[in-house]
Amino acid sequence: DSGVTQTPKHLITATGQRVTLRCSPRSGDLSVYWYQQSLDQGLQFLIQYYNGEERAKGNILERFSAQQFPDLHSELNLSSLELGDSALYFCASRRQGETGELFFGEGSRLTVL
Amino acid sequence: SQQGEEDPQALSIQEGENATMNCSYKTSINNLQWYRQNSGRGLVHLILTRSNEREKHSGRLRVTLDTSKKSSSLLITASRAADTASYFCATGFQGAQKLVFGQGTRLTINP
């Protein structure tokens, strides 16, 4: 158990809909990372927050947004969903700084029909 | 792209044999990490090598890093069926907090 909790584990929805994925980092970790894993794109970095502030942005679509709350949990919002958004979405946390390992949650598997 | 590339994409060996996976990257790094992922599960950190380290060991794992060639290798010795998983290298960069992952190597250990 990594200590990172993601909900929901599985989600099936229709095109055009909006979903919210939730992540609780390890106790004491200030940084939260979101990654998308699909079969054809590998593991893609989406966005990182540190202590409530956005720190780095990757290949995140404009239809996607995220935030980190004062209690350090984070949410990833995906809207106007398309078939191609079907993927595993991972949250990972790290205590602070640029180095050190990431601790991954078990992921949220999103299926868009 | 800064993304690392793993080689081979898939590897199948017999239990007890050694498995070697390679990772190449394109720009200067701060550190290189290896992760393991069992099918559909979260990634688990295996080992971290800083840019000034050439080799690192952890149990049956051995990582080498050659920054002049921008490459790393992960060796798993005396493989076990339980080592069956995908293995990813991830690179960290000075001044950047994100880790960039390669596409992974799918390792299958046949009993």
What is the SS3 string spanning chain B?
CCCCEEECCEEEEECCCCEEEEEECCCCCCEEEEEEECCCCCEEEEEEEECCCCEEEECCEEEEEECCCCEEEEEECCCCHHHCEEEEEEEECCCCCCEEECCCEEEEEEC
Closest partner residue to A42 (CB to CB) among B44, B92, B103 is B103
Closest partner residue to B31 (CB to CB) among A56, A99, A106 is A99
Asked whether the beta carbons of B107 and B88 are under 8 A apart, the reply is no
- The pLDDT of residue A75 is 98
B104: chain A residues, CB-CB within 8 Å: 42-43
Asked whether the beta carbons of B99 and B1 are under 8 A apart, the reply is no
* Percent of chain B with pLDDT strictly greater than 70: 97
Q: pLDDT under 50 in chain A at which residues?
A: none
- pLDDT of B80 strictly over 50: yes
- pLDDT of B77 strictly over 60: yes
- The pLDDT of residue B40 is 84
- The pLDDT of residue A95 is 80
- The pLDDT of residue B93 is 82
Mean pLDDT of chain B: 92
- pLDDT of B107 strictly over 90: yes
Rounded to an integer, the average pLDDT of B24-45 is: 93
- Paired with A94 in beta bridges are A31
If pLDDT is split at 50, 70 and 90, which confidence band does B1 have?
A: very low
Identify the CA nearest to A95 among candidates A61, A72, A68, A66.
A72
Residue of B94 and B31 predicted with greater confidence: B31
* Percent of chain B with pLDDT strictly greater than 90: 77
- The pLDDT of residue B3 is 64
CA-CA distances (angstroms) from residue A8 to A20, A30, B101?
9, 22, 24
Gap between the Cα atoms of A34 and A43, Å rounded: 10
B33: chain A residues, CB-CB within 8 Å: 101-102
- The pLDDT of residue B76 is 98
Asked whether the beta carbons of A89 and A21 are under 8 A apart, the reply is yes
**Closest-CA residue in chain A for B47?**
A101
Q: Say which residues have a Cβ less than 8 Å from residue A99's Cβ, sequence separation at least 6.
A: B30, B31, B48, B50, B92
CB within 8 Å: A102 and B99:
yes
Structure token digits, residue B95 = 């001044």
- The pLDDT of residue A97 is 62
Q: At CA A76, angle to CA A75 and CA A79, rounded to 5?
A: 135
- The pLDDT of residue A42 is 81
